[in-house]
Chain A
Amino acid sequence: MHKTLNSTTPSPVVSLKNVHKSFGTLKVLDGVSFEVDRGEVLVLIGRSGSGKSTALRCIDRFETIDSGEIVVCGHRVSDPKLDLRALRQDVGIVFQSYNLFPHLTIEENITLAPCSVKGMSRTHAKEEARRVLAQVGLEDKLHQYPEQLSGGQQQRAAIARSLAMQPKVMLFDEVTSALDPELTGEVLKVIEALAADGMTMVMVTHEMGFARGIADRVVFMHRGKVHETGLATILTSPATPELAQFVGTGL
């Protein structure tokens, strides 16, 4: 009976159950649980140090957890026998510092993983690079080197590089925090277009206006716990004084 139930209700793409994580004596995640369904955009917000990046990094196994359970696209991330590279083929992650490979052109940055990991042919990978660069509006930068691009363009190229692996879920950690306001807009537009295309996403952001517009679900983290969660409307009518204070200060 459970079986039929499972096959008719799609399991979430990302699920965290009672996740605990400490760095030494510092408790960073204190029983965090949330789920992200297919096509859903989950926005993680909270003060600096509340554990947002750590939660995101645990999803892609950049940090190992102390207890609890994380399942991502059917991979049991908390399982020590996890096939790490299989997980990371399904998950795209983009960091605040774009981390493009400086010695490679944008095209080479994008084709590297499809060719080496998926064994895609060079010609096919180059077509794919053109496609994802068009998606982020950088078709003309194919043969440029990262340092020849502005910060916003580099971040869009980093997003394109992740997309070329055709991930099932994308993780964004404050991808606009290093950018000027004008450049922030162009990156956020790319992410909005991805969301409209139905990409499943988990993102940490300090851009409250953007979060309100894009979030299907908001998780407010406070002291390593999910302090408040709900639809994007909780950003305008928070239930807890902590979230009220957080959105009030706009920090």
Chain B
Amino acid sequence: MNLNLDFAVILERWPTFVDGALLTLQLAFIATVLGTAIGVLGAIGRRSSHPIVSRLCGIYVEAIRNTPLLVQIFLVYFGLASLGVKFSAFTVAAAALTINVGAYTTEIIRAGFDSIPRGQIEAAEGLALSRAQIYWHVVMWPAIEKVYPSLTSQFVLLMLASSVTSQISAEELTAVANYVQSDTYRAFETYILVALVYIVLSLIMRAGFWLLGFVIFPRRRRLGTPL
């Protein structure tokens, strides 16, 4: 066996890899921000006493969790196309990833909401706080703090999963790799490099979430213990 690796021709193209990596990060960032918003609203919806609202949120979550991401991406892509609206591959990819991760964050945040003891809510009600104030101050913040590790892992997973959006030619990291390897015939080297870049992106995201947690959870910062 003769392993003959040549990275030089790959590394020459580093600017395209940087572009791809930045696009991947952008996709992850958009899906994280919007996915968190969907997750909070979805979790409130799933816990709603209104049966239609909670049912609809439940259907959304189950539909997403029981279909492959790639199929969801194609559904958004061809769905929008058949409606006659034309969006860039990036927009479609961002939308599909957001819809996907929103379902998972809905479930994670709902578990966080459910973990807030009834007594906490009664104490807040006894202090005359409104429903919205209770959700915001007494339920949401501690719930997010409790599920923060699973929530952030989900977003890192999503960033890695965003590689399948190369299938609709979003110009993210894996699409760049596909292009480079077909151009240079150095597939193994290309994917080794891309794997390393994904590891770096994961580390960047984890570091970012760690810092963010430090800022938004003062109790964790001061006491260093999980809630």
Does chain A bind chain B?
Answer: yes
CB pair B127 A103 closer than 8 Å: no
Q: Mind listing 12 A-B residue pairs with CB under 8 Å? A: A60-B126, A62-B126, A85-B128, A88-B125, A88-B126, A92-B126, A97-B119, A101-B138, A103-B227, A104-B137, A145-B223, A158-B123
Q: Which of B129, B138, B222 is A117 in contact with, Cβ under 8 Å?
A: B129
CB pair A145 B129 closer than 8 Å: no
A236 located at the interface, meaning its Cβ lies under 8 Å from any Cβ of chain B in the complex = no
B78 located at the interface, meaning its Cβ lies under 8 Å from any Cβ of chain A in the complex = no
CB pair B122 A161 closer than 8 Å: no
Task: Tell me which residues from 91 to 148 in chain A have a Cβ below 8 Å from any Cβ of chain B.
Answer: 91-93, 95, 97, 99-105, 112-113, 116-117, 145, 147-148
CB pair A116 B137 closer than 8 Å: yes
A162 located at the interface, meaning its Cβ lies under 8 Å from any Cβ of chain B in the complex = yes
Contact (A101, B137) CB under 8 Å given A95-B119, A95-B122, A145-B223: yes
Overall SS of chain B's interface: helix
Interface size on B, residues (CB 8 A): 24
Query: What separation, in Å, do the CA atoms of A158 and B120 have in the docked complex?
Result: 12
Mark B residues whose CB is within 8 Å of A. 117, 119-120, 122-130, 133, 137-138, 141-142, 145, 217, 219, 222-223, 225, 227
A219 located at the interface, meaning its Cβ lies under 8 Å from any Cβ of chain B in the complex = no
CB pair A161 B219 closer than 8 Å: no
A13 located at the interface, meaning its Cβ lies under 8 Å from any Cβ of chain B in the complex = no
Interface size on A, residues (CB 8 A): 29
Contact (A102, B142) CB under 8 Å given A161-B127, A165-B127: yes
Contact (A62, B125) CB under 8 Å given A101-B137, A101-B138, A102-B219: yes
| B110 → A minimal CB distance (Å) | 18
Contact (A117, B128) CB under 8 Å given A97-B119, A112-B137: yes
* Residues on B with beta carbons closer than 8 Å to the beta carbon of A33: none
Task: Tell me which residues from 143 to 195 in chain A have a Cβ below 8 Å from any Cβ of chain B.
Answer: 145, 147-148, 158, 161-162, 165
Query: What separation, in Å, do the CA atoms of A198 and B116 have in the docked complex?
Result: 35
Task: Tell me which residues from 58 to 91 in chain A have a Cβ below 8 Å from any Cβ of chain B.
Answer: 60, 62, 85-86, 88-89, 91
A60-B126, A85-B130, A116-B137 known; 17 new pairs, CB 8 Å cut-off, are A86-B128, A88-B127, A88-B128, A89-B128, A93-B126, A99-B122, A99-B123, A101-B124, A101-B138, A102-B142, A103-B142, A103-B227, A113-B127, A113-B128, A116-B129, A148-B223, A161-B127
Contact (A101, B142) CB under 8 Å given A62-B122, A145-B219: yes
Query: What separation, in Å, do the CA atoms of A91 and B126 have in the docked complex?
Result: 8
Contact (A112, B122) CB under 8 Å given A103-B141, A145-B223: no
